[in-house]
Structure 1
Amino acid sequence: MGDRYANPGGHGFVCGGAASWGLRPLACLAAVCRAKSTSSTQRRPLPELKKVYVYDNREAAADALIDELQTEVPFTLIKGKSPEEVTKSCEVLSSATIILKDPLSVVKKEWVSAGQTILPCDLNTFWDPEIARSAGKYIVDSIEEHELFEQMGYFPAGLAPIAGETGEVLAGVKPGREHADELILNSNIGMAVCDVTVGRAIYDRALATETGTLLNLKPSPRNARS
């Protein structure tokens, strides 16, 4: 249940950072229903992580992912048998499937338990919408963006009450997990401003290290100003 982005590590780092404040003390078990980017970037923000369950509705894809990454990560990768098994086995859950207006509700509310941290990268597609409503905190990367999605019809039952933004929690402006039994749901869809910021950092580093190839981008005669 994963996909790949032009910025392949972006969602992984954001989810890892969010998980670090969402976890209970000494938590070391996580579930990642995601492509390579999320799994491979979890080693930094979650140093105590011991196990990651990987589930894909294409079993061969899950096997290939585990074979590719196991030697690169310091935790054990385990192939999950089903969304229910993964949900009930783990403290941290992340999904990146497809974004649809009508939720698929693959993960049922009754499978989720107190104290878990849920990190969807696919709006409310994969999760029963009632999970967000029952969460102790529903946190998003951008309130404005999620409200826009709601206006576009991506939350048919309405957007759940939002406790704050991911950046506010990471900056200490608003609280993350406040007690061990709190259910945290943190929706990080991605923002263009983050991609632009990372792009500028990469560009500046390339100039400083004289790395990369300069492209001579000339305007075509059709678009050239007179």
Structure 2
Amino acid sequence: MPIWLTREDVQAVLNMPDAINAVAEAFRLLSLGQVELPLRTNMPVTPHQGSLLTMPAYVGGDVDGLGVKLITLYAENPQRHNLPAIQGSFALFDPRTGALEAVMEAGYMTAVRTGAAGGVAVRHLARPDVETLLLFGAGAQAPYQLEAVLCERPGIRQVWVVSRTRAHAEAFARAMQERFGVAATVPAIVEEAVRAADIIVTATSAHEPLFDGRWLQPGVHITGVGSHLPHAREVDSVTVQRAKVVADQTQACLAEAGDLVVPLAAGEIEQEHIYGELGEIVAGRKPGRVDPAEITFFKSVGLAVQDVAVARLIVDRARDAGVGQTLTI
């Protein structure tokens, strides 16, 4: 019988280290051609500044999962309605028969798997000796990006937080310092933090670049997860030009990632400037970081294979733990 899993149920069985490993396997299988992954649909709900996404996928290998996520993105929800910016549900099916296995709240799963993708990127692209992290964004996704970086690079000793309002950034920094035990502050001057950062993560709803790519120091790694529209970008063309660019999936990024679409359209880079996909690196088909001085940029628009791999993990653990409510359909 299928089961229903609430947000609390998912939280009870899912942790970031295991999510990182599940997402890494999903990327690896994607690189090996053992998935079915159509481009997601993104339907705008313009009057309410939101959108509805549908994201189906099949992941083969040992994962052997089939599912679809229905998710809404409303960036202003926390401020306007005291609701999460990301909400949704995920349905997992038995790939052998098509029978429904589970339905679960997908907001928490999405937040964790998005953070986990950043963790996989840090594992393969960031220098091992990093000590400083600059985080743009203090919204729903930011804690998970921070947690994933700390899972893969526990030597981080200083976190800087930049948000639209200083008060919000300061409150977030205090909460993260208490939660993770790492020094977290708001920089007095953003340029100085960019110049000093070993890792930069952008997790915002910005439509224009957040910093000047000329400020980046050699050896920095950047993860961009916030923008997912072809006209919106968090990093400028200089950043992209200076970096080894790695996509979660090239096809998806060329359709949705303004960070790459805009400089490509302007003739500032060629498509060949995209080094490859993260799954190719995980699978050992291409090397990740090869030089301590190179700048790396991982662009993620989010893939349904991540959802399926993490959902498969969640459902298996929930059944083992007796978590969830049986559905009668």
Change beyond 3 A, Cα 1:142–1:70: same
Residue identity matched to 1:121 = V
| Partner SS, residue 48 of structure 1 | coil
Give the counterpart of 2:261 among 134, 155, 159.
Answer: 155
Q: Give the CA deviation at 1:184.
A: 0.7
Change beyond 3 A, Cα 1:214–1:86: farther
Q: Which structure: greater helix fraction?
A: 2
Q: How does 1:90-129 map to 2 (within 5 A)?
A: 90-98=197-205, 100=207, 104-123=208-227, 125-129=233-237
Q: Give the CA deviation at 1:19.
A: 1.6
Q: Give the CA deviation at 1:203.
A: 1.2
Change beyond 3 A, Cα 1:43–1:142: same
State the TM-score, normalizing by the size of structure 2.
Answer: 0.58
Give the counterpart of 1:201 among 313, 319, 322.
Answer: 313
Residues in 2 aligned to 1:203 and 1:115: alpha-carbon distance in whole angstroms? 39
- Asked if the contact 1:55–1:86 (Cα under 8 Å) also holds between the matched residues in 2, the reply is no
- The CA deviation string for residues 178-209 of structure 1, in whole angstroms up to 9 with x for no partner, is 11111111111210121122112111111111
State the TM-score, normalizing by the size of structure 1.
Answer: 0.82
Q: Give the CA deviation at 1:75.
A: 2.0
Q: Give the CA deviation at 1:62.
A: 1.3
Q: Which residue matches 1:52?
A: 159
Residue identity matched to 1:211 = V
Note if 1:79 corresponds to 2:186. yes
Q: Which residue matches 1:27?
A: 130
Note if 1:143 corresponds to 2:250. yes
User: Any stretches of 5+ residues in structure 1 without a counterpart?
Assistant: 219-226
Q: Which residue matches 2:120?
A: 17
Change beyond 3 A, Cα 1:188–1:209: same
Q: Which residue matches 1:187?
A: 299
Note if 1:64 corresponds to 2:171. yes
Q: Give the CA deviation at 1:154.
A: 7.2
Residues in 1 aligned to 2:246 and 2:252: alpha-carbon distance in whole angstroms? 12
Note if 1:175 corresponds to 2:287. yes
Residues in 1 aligned to 2:236 and 2:288: alpha-carbon distance in whole angstroms? 22
Residue identity matched to 2:263 = A
Question: Which shows bigger deviation, 64-73 or 48-57?
Answer: 64-73
Equivalences, count:
211
**Identity across the alignment (%):** 23
Q: Which residue matches 1:39?
A: 146
Residues in 2 aligned to 1:195 and 1:114: alpha-carbon distance in whole angstroms? 33
Q: Which residue matches 1:165?
A: 277
Higher relative contact order (CA 8 A, sep 6+): 2
Residues in 2 aligned to 1:28 and 1:172: alpha-carbon distance in whole angstroms? 26
Q: Which residue matches 1:221?
A: none
User: Any stretches of 5+ residues in structure 2 without a counterpart?
Assistant: 1-74, 76-83, 87-106
Change beyond 3 A, Cα 1:213–1:69: farther
Q: Give the CA deviation at 1:40.
A: 2.9
Change beyond 3 A, Cα 1:99–1:195: farther
Residues in 2 aligned to 1:22 and 1:107: alpha-carbon distance in whole angstroms? 21
Q: Which structure: greater strand fraction?
A: 2
